[in-house]
Amino acid sequence: MSGFTWWLRDSWEMVKRNLIHIKRTPELLLDVTISPIMFVLLFSFVFGGAINVGSEGGEDASYINFLMAGIFVQTVAFAGIYTGVLLANDLQKGMIDRFRSLPMSQSSVLTGRTLTDLMRAALAVAIMWIVGMLVGFRPEGGIVGNLAAVGLMLLFGFALSWVGVAAGALVRTPEAPAGHHIRRRIPADVRQQRVRPDGDHAGLDEGLCRTSADDPCRQRGARPDPRHRPVCGRATVGRLVRGNPDGGLSRRPVALQPTDHPVGQAGVAGSSTSRFSRRPMRSTSITTVCPTSMAATPCGVPVMIRSPGSSRVKRLMYSIR
Amino acid sequence: MIEAVGLHKSFGETHALAGLDLDVKEGTILCVLGPNGAGKTTAVRIFTTLTHPDKGSATVAGIDVLRHPAEVRAKIGVAGQYAALDELLTGRENLQMVGRLYRVDARTAKKRADDLLVHFELTDAADRTVKTYSGGMRRRLDLGAALMAQPPVIFLDEPTTGLDPKGRLSMWDLIAELARGGTTVLMTTQYLEEADRLADDIAVIDHGRVIARGTADELKRQVGGERLEITISDTLRVAEARRVLEALGEGPAFVDAEGRRLSVAVASHDGVLTRAIRELDTADVHVDDIGFRRPTLDEVFLSLTGRPAEETAPIEEITA
């Protein structure tokens, strides 16, 4: 057999191992089965009513058509979330040493992982497609277009699961990578406007915020009380970031850094965040942090604001509890 | 069959190996004996292609470990300190997976897995996940995985650490049987008893180099002389007993883990026994047993390194 055939065979052996893990620990599938269904239902029924998609949602201007693309990408990106954890676990338990001392193709340990993620992502897409159709999702791309879309999504998920592999190989404990993943994913969600259309967000902002002149969130330089209408604080962050002259802490675009854990703040202020914080973000997309992070982390996502180029870091933390 | 010349390996400031030389003849068992941190595991990791040495060379079955790691991997079996098994797979699945990754064809892998499960008395547990296995069962399965390709060379890194006495005995039998079948074994251990019992050859290593080499008998002779050994009835009097013995004999007195048996090297028999009894009596130490005997490996290690092989070696079931 040639080297490539062996590599395929060894990778398949690793995939088989991962599939047995899934069979014995079905919880490993929750994030690609139950979660996407919940996302679809949550956004389409809970937030959908408050959002006017305008002309962007296609001819019938339905929010679900707009939403599905975002949820697809988000879930597919999430499909690799365990990769880092499981890999770090294998490293710690000595499994990787075992594999490395075998005459197998060494890279297949990793390809086995990412191929498994690909299968998970495919499962998630299939489930969501069906659920989406049930609640009114009507893709307009035709067979070729839809297949291409699925292919692109899976490719994206596959690429991200390699990022998970890198995280798993770099961190020292199996617990760490999941946090990394969330930290990476949420800012990405925010920037990509996966769940909120660009355009008229007044409805959402005002609806959640019930804006009034004496709203403490809107007073210049005021530190909002996190207990006071936290969602309002978050929506206001969106305005601040858009450079709203009426009530911002900074006129310059500032970056937004959600973290999944208060302890993570230490890291946020340090180098690991520079990727996001140095880059001024496109202003209009930021409001989406509100629904996304609420949905993604039920315990709440602290948000930090930071002025780029300034040594003074303004830290404002909001939590949704 | 296994050879290392001048291996050096440092981790930052720590010199794990500082010029290690080893060679193992075909079909024999070499025990690498040393305390924690002596460099045993690092040496095994280099032989098994998991770590690169900073300096030096190593060959296994005539193949250069550094230049042709892939070929070496096909010739070796490895069982580590922490049984590297997939907890969510059954014993049988673990063996078959490793077998196929050794590139044994599927049918042979299946057959060998079945044979090994029978041989290692794991038939009843074969279709349970490894999560449910005891420490001894894990180690046996781990050794079984190392044997799936029937490799000519086996590396065992502390194969009995953490096992209860029964588990240890059954591992010893399996290892001895391997060598009888012509397999070359390099094993590391902290237990001198283990080396004494299994090894054809012993290499005592400390601070990353071999400090003594030979059969158990040769090493014992190297320490020289006979030893006076006493067993005291009251362990609280061990300090007094030790003082008396050290005054009588030469070098430090060795005290066993329980604090009941003490021994010291003596130059001659002349009057030593009566003096010992008299002085112990004066020191108010009650003696259950007293006599001369040849040194054990524990004492060899103590006199070679100036410290015991292992201060405490608790026996416990491993959980990981």
CATH number of the structural domain spanning residue B293: 3.30.70.100
- How sure is the predictor about B245, in pLDDT bands with cuts at 50, 70 and 90? confident
For residue B157, the chain A residues in CB contact (below 8 A) are: none
- Both B146 and B14 in a single domain? yes
The pLDDT value recorded for residue B309 is 54
CA dist., res. A207 & res. A205, Å (int): 5
- Both B97 and B205 in a single domain? yes
The pLDDT value recorded for residue A61 is 54
The size of the A-B interface in CB pairs under 8 A is 61
Cα–Cα separations (whole angstroms), residue B118 to A90, A243, B95, B111: 28, 73, 12, 11
φ, ψ (nearest 5 deg) of residue B31: -100, 125
Q: What is the pLDDT of residues B88-129, one digit of tens each?
A: 999 999 999 999 999 998 899 999 999 999 988 899 999 999
Helical residues (DSSP H) of A171-284, grouped into ranges: 176-192, 202-209, 230-241, 264-269, 274-277
The pLDDT value recorded for residue A9 is 92
DSSP-derived secondary structure letter, B295: P
Q: Which residue of A has its CA nearest to B93?
A: A17
Q: What is the pLDDT of residues A218-261, one digit of tens each?
A: 444 444 444 443 333 334 333 433 344 344 333 333 344 443 33
Q: Is residue B265 part of a domain?
A: yes
pTM attached to this predicted model: 0.68
Residue B188 has pLDDT above 60, yes or no: yes
- Both B180 and B289 in a single domain? no
- Both B265 and B199 in a single domain? no
The pLDDT value recorded for residue A16 is 94
Place of tokens 């697809």: A72
- Both B201 and B250 in a single domain? no
Q: Is residue B290 part of a domain?
A: yes
Q: Is residue B90 part of a domain?
A: yes
Contact yes or no for B184/B153 (Cβ under 8 A): yes
For B283, the 3-state DSSP assignment is: coil
Contact yes or no for A234/A301 (Cβ under 8 A): no
Q: Is residue B319 part of a domain?
A: no
DSSP-derived secondary structure letter, B66: T
Q: Is residue B24 part of a domain?
A: yes
Place of tokens 């338990």: A93
The pLDDT value recorded for residue B316 is 40
Question: A241 or B22: which carries more pLDDT confidence?
Answer: B22
- Both B149 and B36 in a single domain? yes
Residue A20 to residue B88, Cβ atoms within 8 A: yes
- Both B58 and B199 in a single domain? yes
The pLDDT value recorded for residue B162 is 79
Contact yes or no for B214/B222 (Cβ under 8 A): yes
- Both B189 and B236 in a single domain? no
- Both B185 and B36 in a single domain? yes
Q: Which amino acid is present at A96?
A: I
The pLDDT value recorded for residue A216 is 43
Q: Is residue B232 part of a domain?
A: yes
Residue B315 has pLDDT above 60, yes or no: no
- Both B204 and B236 in a single domain? no
- Both B214 and B232 in a single domain? no
Residue whose C-alpha is closest to residue A217's, from A127, A120, A303: A303
Percentage of chain B lying above the pLDDT 90 cut:
38
Low-confidence residues of chain A: pLDDT under 70: 1, 48-61, 172-321
Q: Which amino acid is present at B319?
A: T
Query: Does residue A278 belong to the interface with chain B, where contact is any CB pair within 8 Å?
Result: no
- Both B127 and B170 in a single domain? yes
Q: Is residue B318 part of a domain?
A: no
Residue B319 has pLDDT above 60, yes or no: no
The pLDDT value recorded for residue A30 is 86
Among B88, B154, B186, the strongest candidate for a mutation testing the A interface, having the largest count of A CBs within 10 A, is: B88
Question: A185 or B227: which carries more pLDDT confidence?
Answer: B227
Residue B229 has pLDDT above 80, yes or no: yes
For residue A5, the chain B residues in CB contact (below 8 A) are: none
Residue A97 to residue B103, Cβ atoms within 8 A: no
Among candidate residues B174, B198, B220, the one where a domain is terminated: B220
Q: Is residue B101 part of a domain?
A: yes
The pLDDT value recorded for residue A200 is 44
The pLDDT value recorded for residue A263 is 34
Among candidate residues B220, B246, B262, the one where a domain is terminated: B220
Among candidate residues B168, B193, B220, the one where a domain is terminated: B220
B204's torsion region: left (phi>0), alpha (psi -120 to 50) or beta? beta
Name the residue facing B88 among A21, A94, A97 (closest C-beta): A21
Query: Does residue A261 belong to the interface with chain B, where contact is any CB pair within 8 Å?
Result: no
The pLDDT value recorded for residue A55 is 55
Least confident of A63-77, A215-229, B199-213, B224-238: A215-229
The pLDDT value recorded for residue A68 is 85
Mean pLDDT score of chain B, rounded to an integer?
A: 86
The domain tally of chain B equals: 2
- Give the residue numbers spanning the domain of B152: 2-220
CATH number at residue B85: 3.40.50.300
